[in-house]
Amino acid sequence: MKTTVSQYDFERAFKEVRPDNFSYEGLKALFDYLEDYETDLAEEIELDVIALCCEFSEYPTAKKAAEQYGWEPDEDEDQNEDEIEAAALDYLQDQTSVRVFNGGVIITDY
């Protein structure tokens, strides 16, 4: 037996178990990502807050997330912050799944 989980239920489950893992905006982005993933797979995902916290991380910028993977901006080029952020996002998209939202990025940790 499965229960349909609303965005509110999803957010409440995280706030009860792991209240500091994701921001409100990050949880919304993660919820949307997982709904899209379920649609693509045509299969339901079990809501396991601990497993999701182990599998996904939120960062304030793509640059901060990419640095966790060892990426560094190319210092030979004159790039502004927007260009550095775009380069970091391109790098991440080659390495993992990324969901950009207003206020940061969610990446899959694998």
Q: Is 90 part of any domain?
A: yes
How far is residue 14's CA from residue 34's CA, in Å, rounded to a whole number? Answer: 14
Q: What is the pLDDT of residue 2?
A: 74
Q: Is 2 part of any domain?
A: no
Reading the block at residue 32, the tokens are 């949307």
CA dist 108 to 2, 8, 59, 67, 82, Å? 25, 22, 11, 14, 23
Q: Which domain holds residue 45?
A: 7-108
Per the structure, the count of domains in the chain is: 1
What residue has token string 């601990």? 50
What residue has token string 């999701």? 52
Q: What is the pLDDT of residue 1?
A: 64
Q: Is 104 part of any domain?
A: yes
Q: What is the pLDDT of residue 101?
A: 95
Q: What is the pLDDT of residue 110?
A: 63
Q: Which pTM value belongs to this model?
A: 0.88
Q: What is the pLDDT of residue 74?
A: 83
Q: Is 81 part of any domain?
A: yes
Q: Spell out the per-residue pLDDT of the chain, length 110, in tens.
A: 678 899 999 999 999 999 999 999 999 999 999 999 999 999 999 999 999 999 999 999 999 999 998 999 887 667 888 999 999 999 999 999 999 999 899 999 86
